[in-house]
Amino acid sequence: MLTNQQTNKGENMSILDSRDLEKELNNPDTKEERKKAIKELKKETANYGWEHGIIFISEMGWEDYCQDFAEDCGYLETSTNGHTNPLQYCIDWGKWSDQMAMDYSQTDFEGTSYYWREA
C-alpha cells in the first residue's frame, strides 16, 4: 500500500511500509505482477527487519523527508512565539539529505527508487 504523507512544504511524498506490503502480498485480490515485485523487495530486505516495518521513502520525496526528520528530532525547534525557526531557511537541505543518505540503502520497486534502512 502506498502512503502519501504531507510534508512541511505541503507536498506529498511516497512512503511504503513493509508491513503494509506484507498485507498486500497475502491479499488474494492483489495482482500477481504486484505480488512478484513485493516478493523481490522482501527477498532483498528480509534480513533487515521486514517483519518489524522497513520504511521506504521515494527518491522524489527524500529531501523533504530529511527536512521533516531534522525537525522531528528537534534540530530546529520552533521559536518561543510558535513561529518557524528562521534558521531553517539558511540550511542547504540538499546537502543534509546527501549526508543522511549515507545511513540508508537504495532499491528500486516498480520503477521508483526508494531509500530505506534496517528496521
Q: Cα dihedral angle (77, 94, 60, 48), rounded to 10 degrees?
A: -80
Q: How many helices (DSSP H) and strands (DSSP E) are in the chain?
A: 4, 5
Q: What is the pLDDT of residues 38-91, one digit of tens each?
A: 999 999 999 999 999 999 999 999 999 999 999 889 888 766 677 777 888 899
How many CB atoms are closer than 10 A to CB 24? 17
> What average pLDDT does the chain have?
87
The pLDDT value given to residue 1 = 40
The pLDDT value given to residue 119 = 80
Q: What percent of the chain has pLDDT over 90?
A: 71
How far is it, in rounded angstroms, from Cα 62 to Cα 39?
24
* Confidence (pTM): 0.81
